[in-house]
A and B are shown apart, each in its own frame.
Chain A
Amino acid sequence: GAGVSQSPRYKVAKRGQDVALRCDPISGHVSLFWYQQALGQGPEFLTYFQNEAQLDKSGLPSDRFFAERPEGSVSTLKIQRTQQEDSAVYLCASSLETGGFGYTFGSGTRLTVV
């Protein structure tokens, strides 16, 4: 596609519910990143994929967070047993190059945990 596509655009989850957020990167982009953006703050790194390999997951805040990119294209970020502190915008970005150069961000998924 022309850009990075994320779905759903908005998600309201009850505390304790599991959620799955989808990212469809730009076709051919090798690198894929997930970031979490709290209100009024900069994006915070969660995890990085190069093709299907998850090279860095140091930013995932707890073992309730899990990400995958099984075929090196679409990625899913899963959050189990959601908590209120998980409420944020989850941004996906992709890049043609390996490493962190020249991100194109998606529009994000705004997750609200009630």
Chain B
Amino acid sequence: GENVEQHPSTLSVQEGDSAVIKCTYSDSASNYFPWYKQELGKRPQLIIDIRSNVGEKKDQRIAVTLNKTAKHFSLHITETQPEDSAVYFCAASGDTNAGKSTFGDGTTLTVKP
């Protein structure tokens, strides 16, 4: 089955700096890669996603890049703000999995004011 690895497990940045979180996946049939933000005690919320037919997608300060050949994808947050502090999860799924997503173990991002 699919295996998703996420790095780093913790990340601390100064307000205004950029943050990058990386994930690798094992199943070449995976074709959908969402990112979720989870604040303490709250639900995971979808912040951006990318499908395998594109290499990059951007939404304001957030971007995701995908390298299908290397089977890795990354989340980039620019101009970080304290409210970006949360746990971020990457995930991968594909048509063969019929909807099942495999999640990484999460990255705890702390943005220091």
Q: Which of B52-60, B61-69, B76-84, B92-100 participates in binding chain A?
A: B92-100
Interfacial chain B residues near A91, Cβ < 8 Å: 43-44
Partner of B99, one of A33, A43, A44, A107: A33
Q: How far is the CA of A63 from the CA of B36 in the complex (A)?
A: 30
Task: List the A side residues contacting B34 at CB < 8 Å.
Answer: 101-103
Given A99-B93, A100-B32, A102-B49, verify A45-B102 contact (CB < 8 Å): yes
| B99 near A31: Cβ-Cβ < 8 Å | yes
Q: How large is the interface on B (under 10, 10 to 19, 20 to 34, 35 or more residues)?
A: 20 to 34
Instruction: Give Cα A112–Cα B89 distance, bound, in whole angstroms.
Output: 24
Q: How far is the CB of B66 from chain A (nearest CB, A)?
A: 15
A100 touches B104 (CB 8 A): no
Is there a chain A Cβ closer than 8 Å to B20's Cβ?
no
B45 at the A/B interface (Cβ < 8 Å)?
Answer: yes
**Residues of chain A having any CB pair with chain B under 8 Å:** 4, 31, 33, 40-45, 48, 50, 55-56, 58-59, 91, 95, 98-108
Q: List 17 A-B contacts (CB under 8 A).
A: A42-B89, A42-B91, A42-B104, A43-B44, A43-B103, A48-B99, A55-B98, A58-B100, A59-B100, A91-B44, A99-B32, A99-B98, A100-B93, A100-B100, A103-B101, A105-B36, A105-B44
